[in-house]
Amino acid sequence: MRQQSYLIDTNILIGLEDYRAVETAYAKFYNLASAHKVDIFVHEAAHDDIARDKDSERRRISLSKIAKYRILRKQRGLSDAQLEAEFGPLRKPNDIVDATLLHALKSDAVDFLVTQDKGLHERALRNSPELGRRVLFVGDAADLLTQTYEPKQVPIRHVAEVHAHMINHQSTFFNSLRDGYPEFDAWWREKCVPEHRPCWVVYDDDELAGLIVRKDETADDTDAVRKAAKILKICTFKVAPEKRGVKLGELLLKQVLWYAQVNGYAVAYLTTYPNQAALINLLEFYGFQHAGTKPDGELIYERRFASGQLEVEPSVTAYDAARMNYPRFLVNSEIKGFGIPIQESYHDTLYPDLWNPRQRDLFSGRSQAERPTRPGNTIRKVYLCRAPSNLGAPGSLLFFYKSASREQPSQAITALGILESITLARSTRDLMHLTGGRSVYSERQLNDWKASSSRPVKVINYLLVSYIDPAIGLEELRSLGVVVGNPQQSIYGIKPPLVKRLLERANLPFSV
């Protein structure tokens, strides 16, 4: 497989070349690309973007720094009208630049586009999910390079719950919080510690890598726009810059969503500034909405939770209902269910939490479950197979069956997912593009699939809802009527009455 190539947006160029200190994620991306001789391009249109900078000295310096990158030239004869027809309205000069970048990406002049511009991510997704997956935030681009060229496990432990006084708030982990909030130390000492504020933490070899500080509020004492009797405030949500590519933000948000749902909160909310594009994109994907803006410009993002039957507007697809109400999902007569057999090696990659029996004490023992890799940190996952089948529409229920294995669980349904999409990859490059934003595969693994037009590979994107604990073993599956005779070796449909039995057996802590 040839080397990957990346096109960087103007905001990434500025992040790498500005006179200020380079942020960790930017430096990691650039260093990995340089080390593995991966091409980084700046589009000729970026020159137009920078040329509009009214600060003449900054403009001169920025234009001079473009010269160190390979330039991707414009396509001759490409009109604004063509770009608008392909990528939506172009109301401002910057919109034309954005559409030009997406055109280069869709034309496969490069493999991935790196940008912190949330609007550009949204424009790509509106064009197609496949294009959207090839537009990356800089932390995800650094992670993709790591996974592709340096396939190593990431020694990060699971989320644990502690109280504020147990955390060393003098750690350098908190420096950026102090920079943006000078009263941080006083707030920690005077509020968090005396009130024993509960926190979720992720540690990497005793170094704090991710943190959420939470607080219970009521309608009488909250900054939330929507008032309710039980409100969960996320006071602090932070991931160490060097760990952002490991998807710890998604792992911590998963903790928030499950906790709020299971414990009967009506609303969860946090505040953030507009420049936190990656965080805002993550929040909005999982159903948080911009509910208001504080006087200092902070944005209030809220999400509602319901305990009864999940109800959504008829125009909302089953898949969108699942992602916006995660971990809830739709179940009705139109939602189909499928069993997906998965070999042990792939199962261990996607679900490292289940590699060994899980430890009761997350800070004791040394199982792989205690040291999850990036795939174990994500809700959004991708699975490759060649199993002959026609899966249902997005929103279908996926029951993952771990085939005969050396380690337990063996011959059992272990996980429940929600189908997002299924695409055929007819080349290794297709595989790289289609798995890029959620890559769990090294360059060698992608090559080993030998995808071709005659032997395409199914790329199944899905949301992991939950592990099924205890797993549903083969004998129980036979007793439920899901398996008759020998276990199925390919993807198979599950009849609605059997789907209902499996969901009842899954012991989910909410109504379905």
Q: What is the pLDDT of residues 43-100, one digit of tens each?
A: 998 877 787 778 888 778 777 778 788 999 989 899 999 999 999 999 988 899 999 9
- pLDDT of 12 reads 86
The mean of the pLDDT values for the chain is 87
Position 232, amino acid: L
Give SS3 for 497.
Answer: helix
- C-alpha distance across the termini of the chain, in Å: 44
pLDDT digits (tens, 9 = 90+) for 186-216: 999 999 999 999 999 988 878 899 999 999 9
Element (H, E) at 175: helix 175-180
Query: Does 278 map to a domain?
Result: yes
Position 376, amino acid: G
56 with 137, same domain: the answer is yes
Show which of 287, 304, 321 is a domain's final residue. Answer: 304
Query: Does 444 map to a domain?
Result: yes
- pLDDT of 444 reads 84
Tell me the pTM.
0.84
Average pLDDT, integer, range 223-252: 87
393 with 477, same domain: the answer is yes
CATH number at residue 377: 2.30.130.30
CATH number at residue 299: 3.40.630.30
Sign, CA dihedral 345-248-330-122, equals negative
**Residue ranges making up the domain that contains 253:** 160-304
197 to 164, 177, 183, 227: CA distances (angstroms): 5, 17, 17, 22
Q: How many CB atoms lie within 10 A of CB 439?
A: 24
Does the structure show a pLDDT above 90 at 14?
Answer: no
Q: Maximum distance among all alpha carbons in the chain? A: 76
Show which of 285, 304, 323 is a domain's final residue. Answer: 304
pLDDT digits (tens, 9 = 90+) for 128-173: 989 999 999 998 898 888 878 875 544 455 788 999 999 998 899 9
Backbone phi and psi for residue 218, each to the nearest 5 degrees, phi listed first: -125, 175
- pLDDT of 320 reads 96
Residue 238's Cβ-side half-sphere holds a number of Cα atoms within 13 Å equal to: 19
In which band, very low, low, confident or very high, does the pLDDT at 19 lie, cut at 50, 70 and 90?
A: low
95 with 209, same domain: the answer is no
**Token couple for 478:** 């036979």
CB 210 within 8 A of CB 201: yes
Query: Does 321 map to a domain?
Result: no
- pLDDT of 244 reads 60
Tally of domains within the chain: 3
* Rounded distance between C-alpha atoms, residue 38 and residue 436, angstroms: 15
In which band, very low, low, confident or very high, does the pLDDT at 368 lie, cut at 50, 70 and 90?
A: very low
Out of 74-78, 156-160, 176-180, 319-323, which region has the weakest mean confidence (pLDDT)? 156-160
Instruction: Pick 352 or 184 by higher pLDDT.
Output: 184
**Token couple for 338:** 């499928």
Does the structure show a pLDDT above 60 at 452?
Answer: yes
Residue 271's Cβ-side half-sphere holds a number of Cα atoms within 13 Å equal to: 13
Rg (CA), the chain: 23
Query: Does 323 map to a domain?
Result: no
- pLDDT of 82 reads 95
CB 279 within 8 A of CB 249: yes
* Rounded distance between C-alpha atoms, residue 402 and residue 346, angstroms: 9
